[in-house]
Structure formats: structure tokens, C-alpha cells
Structure 1
Amino acid sequence: MALSEHEQRLLDQLEQQLHADDPKFAHSMASDTRKAMSTRRLVIGSLITIAGILVLLAGITYQNIFIGVAGFLVMGAGVYFATTKSKQVEVTEPAGKPTKATSGGKSGFMSGLEDKWDERKRDQS
């Protein structure tokens, strides 16, 4: 469900205030597409996992424990590869984002939220 224009503006304001009040927390909570799971890694990991299953089944068929263990290890490596995120170079903060709090700290952030909450309650009444 899409946000209305007013809700989107409020969300943007909240995000800006969070970046101003606590930039470390905001940076850690930001969704970064480069850190998200890669489709490429997921596909390659899935293919490696399937190959591991096939090798495991071959080990069972030939009743060779070494082939079965190797297949299990390949299968585990494929799952690990598919579920881990690739390492990225550390990115500095964009120039448009404030790095220091411009308002009076957390009390300014909380009072802003309280004001918006009160305004919203008045609009509903």
C-alpha cells in the first residue's frame, strides 16, 4: 500500500531528524542496496547447492562415504555462499546528510514527534 504525499513528507522529516540526532544509528539502520542480498549470489549458491546434493546422492549410490561427505561439504558451501552478503567498500556519508545534531538533541526530536502526534489527533477529531 502506497503512502500518501503527506505521510511521505512526514517520513522524510523523521528520517532527516534521525540523521541529525543520531547519525551512527541512522547509518546502521539505513537500507543499503549494495549490502542487500545479491540475486547473482543467490543463483550461484543455489546451483552449487544442487551440485552438492547430486554429489551426495552419487556417494550414496556408489556407497562411498568420501564422495558423500564431499557432496555434503559442497552443499553446505553453496548454502553459505547464497546466504552471505558480499563485502563492500566502506562508503562515506553523502554531502547532503547532516553529521551533527542541529537541534537540541533527543528532546528536540521527541518534542517534534509529540507535536506531529498532537496535530494528527486534532486533524482526526
Structure 2
Amino acid sequence: MDDSETVAGRQGETRGSGTFEFSEGERGVALIVAVRCQGEGEIEVSVEPVNVGFPLECVDGEASATTSTIYHQINVAGAEKKGTVSVLASSSVRWSMTIGRGEPEQAEAPEPPGETE
């Protein structure tokens, strides 16, 4: 999370499956899910009450400062509500996660077809 974002929940390194809660936020701010995982396998992340889920492929190896964190920004109705995050993972996978709140990113408008520089 950067200085403009607020932490709503955090789960330290966890092995296998787990669930944790996050706090409510202000209307109009996006929910940010930052996930890091390590170990051979895939994790399945589910965020309620917004009904958002995604898989994440984890790799075996040592965690380091260069290990990447995957960020997902959720800007849908109900994102301001408190909720839970559930992770389905095998016992060989370790993961950690931070849930935050921040200003929604503005999507860039696509360039019209045929216009190039």
C-alpha cells in the first residue's frame, strides 16, 4: 500500500487455506487486494460481499524483497462494505495479504482505430 491508501485488513504469512475480515470504508473508494504467495501450486482468492474471486499461480523458492505482489483493485457497488477474504490453498503454499482502500484508478480511454503517432 502506498501513502494515499488506507489498510482495512491484513493477514500475515499463512500456510494453506484461511479466512480473515476487513473493515468498511468510505463510499466511492476502491477496495485494493494485495497478495503475495510462495510454494508450488495455485491459490483461489474470494472477496465477499463483492463476489469477486481470482486464482493466483504461486512458485516455489525463497521469498525476497523482489518477490512480486499482485494488486487487484475492485471498484464495484458494495466495495465500501466490510467483508471477508477467503483463500483456498494446499498446505505447501504460503501466502500473505493486505486489503486496503484508495482512490479508484482512472481507466485510460482506448485510442480510436486508425490513429497512430
TM class by shorter chain equals: under 0.3
Q: Comparing both structures, which one devotes a greater share of its residues to helix?
A: 1
Q: If the length of structure 2 is used for normalisation, what is the TM-score?
A: 0.18
Q: Comparing both structures, which one devotes a greater share of its residues to strand?
A: 2
Q: If the length of structure 1 is used for normalisation, what is the TM-score?
A: 0.17
Q: Which has the higher contact order (CA 8 A, sep 6+)?
A: 2
Larger Rg: 1
